[in-house]
Amino acid sequence: MTQETSEVLTKDHQRSVSRRKLLRNAGAVVAITAAGAVTRPRIIEGQDATPDALAPAMRSARRQIAAVDAAAAPDLPPLEVIVFNRMAFGPRPGDLDAFRRLGADDQSRLQSYVNQQLNPAAIDDSACDNILARQGFTTLNKSLTQLWTEHAVADGISWEDRQRPYRETEKATFLRAVYSKRQLNEVLADFWHNHFNVYGDDRWASPVWVHYDRDVIRGNMLGNFRTMLGMVAKSPAMLYYLDNESNTSAGPNENFAREIFELHTMGAENYLGVVSDRSQVPVDDEGRPIGYIDKDVYQATECFTGWRVNDETGQFYFDEAEHSRYEKLVLGVSIDDFLGEQDGEIVMDLLANHPGTAHYIAGKLCRRLISDSPPESIVQAAADVFYAQRNAPDQLKQVVRTILLSDEFRQTWGEKVKRPLEYAVSVLRASNADFEPNDRFRWSYSGMAQNLFRWHPPDGYPDVKEAWTGTMSILQRWRHCNYLIDWKYEDGPMKDQLRLPIETQMPASKRTPNEIVDFWSQFVLGRALPPAERQPVLDFIAQGRNPNFELTDEMIQERLRYMVALIFMSPSFLWR
Amino acid sequence: MFKVTRRGFMVGCSTAIATMAGGLTYTAFGSANDEPNHDILVVVFLRGGMDGLSVVMPIDGQDRGYYEANRERLAVPASGDNAALRLNSLFGLHPGAAPLFDLYQDKKLAIIHAAGLTSDTRSHFDAMQYIELGTPDSKSSAKGWLTRHLETMGGLPNEVIVPVMATGGGQPTSLQGSREAISLTSPDDFSFSGNWRWRDMQRQALRQMYSGDSSWLHAAGQQTLDAVDVIEYANPGDYTPENGADYPNNGFGRGLQTVAQIIKMQLGLRVATVDFGGWDTHQSQGEGGTGYFSSHLSDLARGLNALMTDLSNSNGTDHTKRLTVVVQSEFGRSFRENASRGTDHGHGNVMFVLGGAVNGGSVMGNWPGLGPDQLYDRRDLAITTDYRRVLSEIMIRRFGNPNLGIVFPGYSDYQPLGIVRGGDIPPNYSDEPVDATPIPDPGGTIPGGTTPTPTPTVTPPENMDKRIYLPQVNR
């Protein structure tokens, strides 16, 4: 140490509870001050309303660059467009018409569609099932123990066999997203996989991925949250991913305990930080702490000690010898000594039944289904249902129904952007593609940086536009579109079959640039392009000709698919 | 001298290029007059919480005893096989970080220990947000600290084309709200691609489509089209690192290499971010200075060393003279190892600052000690240097930007540790910006600093006349 070496830690270096409390209590004030301070120098964005004299001193010429108007939002499209872009992976040809036939008005159509989607077993999905059946998958029907014995611990198992359950689930997920009529199921499966994120392409996760996807996530996503939480906690995929399988009384590992609080249940919004004196934590009307502190995490860590995976079967088992036996205190509740496996169950009961969890999960679902910043009105309404129905076997179905039938759902548009998965799948759906999730597709898709089940940190892929509107991110979506629209997707016999089928989708009667653009706008977007987007598309296909005059077959043939690509790359196609 | 403005570049007409065709050299594209004097800040963020006590650890004294007692299996030996590299009488460096040791001995690397975010949180996601927004304990800021630094630092003439970039696919929180930041994995991949016959027309159409409104999505689309034009125009081609630089073959290495490439392209880069994940080592970190942590750290050290080497001599120009690299993580890890041979979320950590203007070769800060009563919350390394203290010093001394009140609202404790050389100007703690002094004393405060002569190494693509958006040239 070359400087100030002799100084030792003084009192003010040690955190005390009063500081944290002060910060929490002053949270609103701090926030306002900070926000005020940082938005004051108005430099590039045009969204600050107050005129200010400071600007000229700044780099004024540069503020013209990509000015953002926060108020500039696209018009609300027809309800069916909202429905298929937010509770589905975009419409397939015919979907929007089918929706319109569901009832006399928007309200009854939505009601009817949501009811259908929330009862997926009643939807005939045989076309998708047949497509899946043709893939020759071998692992998707295996039990956990079969998966474990045949893919995880079998002697001399190859890496390919170890990965097979994961790879087949990945392919099946793409295929279902593109072809399944149970679209809400697919959206929710993606949501819950990210909520209970596990990195799938890993030594212990890959072999059991079918179990994690089929039984743990999909098996519960319209059911009860507490049940799902328990299955997640006891699944080999999660036990290994967050290291709980090595959490022992002699050497606690806090990884899982921390994330079950922060990411799986109460969320960071209910984290009060490092507080050493429990009596400082405020309680609600029922005497419950309003949030959790690090001590809760450490005590919960003790509760989850000895949770193991049976080496021979892959099933959960409880190892009494590694369990911390003595009394624990979690969220103000004393958990008696010698309760064994029950300790962890009690912690999960406390978490699943905490109002903070209801609010956090409801908020995340609203963020997925409505807006990056959902109105508190609908978040609270959904949280109330989550909490009131916490013991119901269809708790999550009721929460999702509340969100989808809300005014907020119907009246919100353009506050989210299609992420790569939604983008890639919606292109394939809109163009009625003959889709094959082969290696070339995966290669191009992976450039967009949202590979399925391959997010390393435990928080899941971000679900806000800021994460997906960087230049590389936008460019990669355009590149992927270019890739699909041309014929690089496959060489050999499948080459033409896997090229997006554009020319064959359009009736021969569409001959003029105006007709062609309007047909494709409706076909792909379910609505007309706004004028500022329509004109460049029209100019592209017309190439200087009168847009009311017919184009020759040759002209249509050579440029149509590149015109359609433009629609796939337009702002209108990216909004959600 | 040609002057190419960024805006002009984007919206210029094709007649302009006729003037340029043939004679334009690469340096006319950026800002040849100013750029070589401007500093570049590269922020490397180690995601997951790097175990700083495995990187720089006590090798002697009472703390060595505490360290060995708490790190029974993980401790890096103080002597013998795989021993720590001796930094001074108290501290050693993990042997896996040998390439950093070279920089330390060259006095280009400063180590700040017991540094970090003082907020009482052990959450990855809270900690990263607080640090990157520059607002501990609050997540409400719409902009990251680097965005605010760029907005208030001055010295950004219009002809600067790429002032800020994030390597990798995403944009980190520190650059949140920046409409100028471009993100890219590698310039070579940063092309529109598409069918050769139609792609230029598609780009023209997209520019019109995305100019039709001013929503966030339209802005993002325009920004993307601008960036594609810029990078394509700069014609990066295949990149070969210079001076024998050896980047690790992973996303981190490629990110650093991209930074070097963009710096050499002289597009006016001021700030770049590079992320490197994989530090959340709850288990099997590797014992006695070996294993996973060692090889991961070795990638970090190799990459940083390669960046410095690569930029040290490019046709006679030493770009490292204006380069400052900061390496930080969201928190350190628990002092005591866990039963899985790993460590859990902790508090204080080590930070690195390296570059040509760094007072390297020392371990800085106040060492709080590792005794039970000296630990934060009786379990983690305490923090005696707020991470903002380190960043503020770089802002002021290297960028002449005194606007701490805007970049780090609420922080009013500016005390340079002497990490970097440069002029001290009084910090401005108010939320009213004052003019920044772009370079406190160009050349003078950088010992041995001279204004390097930019060397045109790249010529524009031959098919320039086929482009749609061409620079507008003002003489």
Nearest chain B Cα distance for residue A87, angstroms: 21
Which residues from chain B sit within 8 angstroms of residue A242, using beta carbons?
282
Residues A473 and A526 in one domain: no
Domain tally, chain A: 2
Range(s) of the domain holding residue B121: 39-190+236-399+407-421
What residues contact B124, with CB distance under 8 A and at least 6 apart?
A: A457, A459, B47, B48, B49, B280, B330, B331, B345
Residue at B289 is within a domain: yes
- DSSP-assigned beta bridge partners for residue B354: B109, B325
Nearest chain A Cα distance for residue B428, angstroms: 13
Nearest chain B Cα distance for residue A199, angstroms: 12
Q: If you measure CA to CA, which chain A residue comes closest to B203? A: A566
Asked if B213's CB is within 8 angstroms of A23's CB, the reply is: no
Q: How far apart are the first and last CA of chain A?
A: 55
Which residues from chain A sit within 8 angstroms of residue B198, using beta carbons?
559, 562
> Of A417, A479, A559, which is closest to B193 when you measure between CB atoms?
A479
Residue B436 pLDDT: 77
Residue at B221 is within a domain: no
Asked if A74's CB is within 8 angstroms of B218's CB, the reply is: no
Residue B226 pLDDT: 86
Which residues from chain A sit within 8 angstroms of residue B115, using beta carbons?
none
Nearest chain A Cα distance for residue B316, angstroms: 32
Asked if A472's CB is within 8 angstroms of B169's CB, the reply is: yes
Largest CA distance in chain B: 74
Token couple for B28? 């006319």
Residue B237 pLDDT: 74
Question: Pick from B31, B439, B24, B43: which is nearest to B266 by CA?
Answer: B31
Asked if A62's CB is within 8 angstroms of B156's CB, the reply is: yes
Question: What is the C-alpha to C-alpha distance for residues A480 and B192, in angstroms, rounded to an integer?
Answer: 10
Residue at A413 is within a domain: no
Which residues from chain B sit within 8 angstroms of residue A65, using beta carbons?
6-7, 179-180, 223, 226
Domain tally, chain B: 1
Which of B198, B230, B373 to mutate: most A Cβ within 10 Å? B198
Asked if A474's CB is within 8 angstroms of B224's CB, the reply is: yes
Residue A509 pLDDT: 96
Rounded (to 5) percent helix, strand, coil in chain B: 35, 15, 50
Q: If you measure CA to CA, which chain A residue comes closest to B11? A: A65
Residue at A520 is within a domain: yes
> Of B7, B126, B138, which is closest to A31 when you measure between CB atoms?
B138
Question: Pick from A423, A420, A452, A439: which is nearest to A170 by CA?
Answer: A452
Which of B111, B123, B222 to mutate: most A Cβ within 10 Å? B123
Q: Are B132 and B173 a contacting pair, CB within 8 Å?
A: yes
Asked if A15's CB is within 8 angstroms of B376's CB, the reply is: yes
Residue B236 pLDDT: 72
Token couple for B128? 């990263």
Nearest chain B Cα distance for residue A537, angstroms: 7
Nearest chain A Cα distance for residue B457, angstroms: 26
Q: Are A156 and A166 a contacting pair, CB within 8 Å?
A: no
Residue at B276 is within a domain: yes
Which residues from chain B sit within 8 angstroms of residue A536, using beta carbons?
204-206, 208-209
Residues A570 and A515 in one domain: yes
User: What DSSP designation does A575 have?
Assistant: B
Question: Pick from B41, B338, B197, B226: which is nearest to A475 by CA?
Answer: B226
- What separation in angstroms does the CA of B413 have from each of A36, B363, B404, B429? 20, 21, 10, 9
Which residues from chain A sit within 8 angstroms of residue B169, using beta carbons?
448-449, 470, 472-473, 476
**Domain boundary, last residue among A498, A525, A546:** A498
Residue at B19 is within a domain: no
Which of A18, A475, A499, A520 to mutate: most B Cβ within 10 Å? A475
Residues A434 and A469 in one domain: yes
Asked if B364's CB is within 8 angstroms of A2's CB, the reply is: yes
- Compute the count of residue pairs across chains A and B with CB atoms less than 8 Å apart: 332
Which amino acid appears at position B291 of this protein? G
**Domain boundary, last residue among A434, A467, A498:** A498
Residue at B231 is within a domain: no
> Of A33, A457, A533, which is closest to B124 when you measure between CB atoms?
A457
Asked if A13's CB is within 8 angstroms of B382's CB, the reply is: yes
Asked if B215's CB is within 8 angstroms of A68's CB, the reply is: yes
Q: Are A223 and A397 a contacting pair, CB within 8 Å?
A: yes
- What separation in angstroms does the CA of A400 have from each of A109, A383, B447? 17, 10, 64
The low-confidence residues of chain B, meaning pLDDT below 50, are: 1-34, 440-475
Asked if B277's CB is within 8 angstroms of A457's CB, the reply is: yes
Asked if A539's CB is within 8 angstroms of B183's CB, the reply is: no
Residue at A539 is within a domain: yes
> Of A262, A474, A536, which is closest to B205 when you measure between CB atoms?
A536
> Of B123, B183, B409, which is closest to A33 when you measure between CB atoms?
B409
Asked if A456's CB is within 8 angstroms of B339's CB, the reply is: no
Residues A486 and A541 in one domain: no
Nearest chain B Cα distance for residue A482, angstroms: 5
Q: If you measure CA to CA, which chain B residue comes closest to A482? A: B194
Q: In this structure, what CATH number is given to the domain that contains residue B252?
A: 3.40.720
Residue at A317 is within a domain: no
Question: What is the C-alpha to C-alpha distance for residues A425 and A481, in angstroms, rounded to an integer?
Answer: 11
Which residues from chain B sit within 8 angstroms of residue A251, using beta carbons?
338-340
Residue A334's φ and ψ, nearest 5 degrees, are -85, 130
**Domain boundary, last residue among A483, A498, A513:** A498
DSSP codes, A66-113: T---TT--PPP--HHHHHHHHSSSSPPTTHHHHHHTT-SSHHHHHHHH
Range(s) of the domain holding residue A552: 503-574
Question: Pick from B301, B303, B253, B342: which is nearest to B71 by CA?
Answer: B342
Which residues from chain B sit within 8 angstroms of residue A276, using beta carbons?
377
Q: If you measure CA to CA, which chain B residue comes closest to A274? A: B120
Residue at B353 is within a domain: yes
Nearest chain B Cα distance for residue A568, angstroms: 11
Residue A495 pLDDT: 61
Asked if B383's CB is within 8 angstroms of A475's CB, the reply is: no
Which residues from chain A sit within 8 angstroms of residue B6, using beta carbons?
62, 65
The low-confidence residues of chain A, meaning pLDDT below 70, are: 1-71, 487-498
The pairing of beta strand B182-184 with beta strand B164-167: parallel
Residue A66 pLDDT: 47
Asked if B282's CB is within 8 angstroms of A473's CB, the reply is: no
Question: Pick from A421, A435, A521: which is nearest to A463 by CA?
Answer: A421
Nearest chain B Cα distance for residue A34, angstroms: 6
